Amino acid sequence: MKYKAIIFDLDGVICHTDKYHYLAWKQVADRLGIYFDEEINNRLRGVSRMESLEIVLERCEKILSHEEKLSIADEKNEIYKNLLKDMSPADVSKEVMDTLTSLKNSGILLGIGSSSKNAKLILSKIGLQEFFDAISDGIGLAHSKPNPEVFVKCAQMLNIDPTDCLVIEDAIVGVQAAKAAKMDSVAVGDAAKQDIATYKMECFTELIALV
């Protein structure tokens, strides 16, 4: 095998919680009278909650205090968590689940590298909290993607050299973070619109042939 470990981003790769991030930010932006659309939302992929808020606020005319910003971020997270509440193992497609199972059976290590502080909550809802060999998430993360920290931490947890890891990402900043961590990457979804990753993938099952 070409790699010893695969590190998956969560939102927009393993499950489609990216659509819930969009809906939650849209609701907050609408309440504040700020224009927000899916193109702006693509810039929030992979970046932390507070950095996402700063991007949303680029179109806000009012100057907000740090406390006001924290309160808006909390409001978004409450809406987001409410959208997550009915998630279940059925939210992982058959294609993703079959591919993950086949990779696991092949003996390659599998990790999660997500900027989200809700990553473990989501993984438990979709029944995958025990499935991965390491979970590196947004809790305690000093720098979010494109900084390599989240992936470097995951490689350390797996006890694997970064150059032996392959990252799967839907965020452009996530692909940049993988590169900064000296890891090869596979772009899916929004990130696959650009030629920055080592590979592009349209269908999850293609991963079996890449590793």
What string of H, E and C letters represents the secondary structure of 4-25? CEEEECCECCCECHHHHHHHHH
114 binds ligand BG6 (CB under 6 A): yes
Based on the residue annotation, tell me whether 184 is a catalytic residue of this protein: no
Dihedrals phi, psi of 168, to nearest 5 degrees: -115, 120
Could you say which of 118, 136, 176, 185 contacts ligand BG6 (CB under 6 A)?
Answer: 118
Report the DSSP pairing between strands 165-169 and 5-8: parallel
**CB-based contacts of 35: which residues, under 8 Å, 6+ apart?**
29, 59
Closest residue to bound Mg ion by CB: 12
Residue that has been written with the tokens 């590169």 in this structure = 179
CA angle 14, 76, 124 (to 5 degrees): 35
Q: How many residues does the chain have?
A: 211
Only segment of 85-93, 116-124, 179-187, 203-211 that touches ligand BG6 (CB under 6 A): 116-124
Dihedral (Cα; 6, 7, 8, 9), 10-degree rounding: -160
176 binds ligand BG6 (CB under 6 A): no
115 binds ligand BG6 (CB under 6 A): yes
99 binds ligand BG6 (CB under 6 A): no
190 binds Mg ion (CB under 5 A): no
Return the structure tokens found at 145: 């993607």
Binding partner selected for residue 49 from ligand BG6, Mg ion, none, CB under the kind-specific 5 to 8 Å limit: ligand BG6
52 binds ligand BG6 (CB under 6 A): yes
Minimum Å gap between C-beta 118 and ligand BG6 is 4
Based on the residue annotation, tell me whether 9 is a catalytic residue of this protein: yes
Only segment of 47-55, 82-90, 160-168, 199-207 that touches ligand BG6 (CB under 6 A): 47-55
Catalytic residue among 9, 18, 137, 190: 9
Could you say which of 3, 5, 7, 11 contacts ligand BG6 (CB under 6 A)?
Answer: 11
Q: Where are the beta strands (DSSP E) in the chain?
A: 5-8, 109-113, 134-136, 165-169, 184-187, 199-200
Site string for Mg ion, 3-32 (x = CB under 5 A): ------x-xx--------------------
Of the candidates 84, 71, 94, 92, the residue with the CA atom closest to the CA atom of residue 116: 84
Binding footprint of ligand BG6 on the chain (CB under 6 A): 10-11, 21, 44-49, 52, 77, 114-118, 138, 171
Binding footprint of Mg ion on the chain (CB under 5 A): 9, 11-12, 170-171
Residues that are catalytic: 9, 11
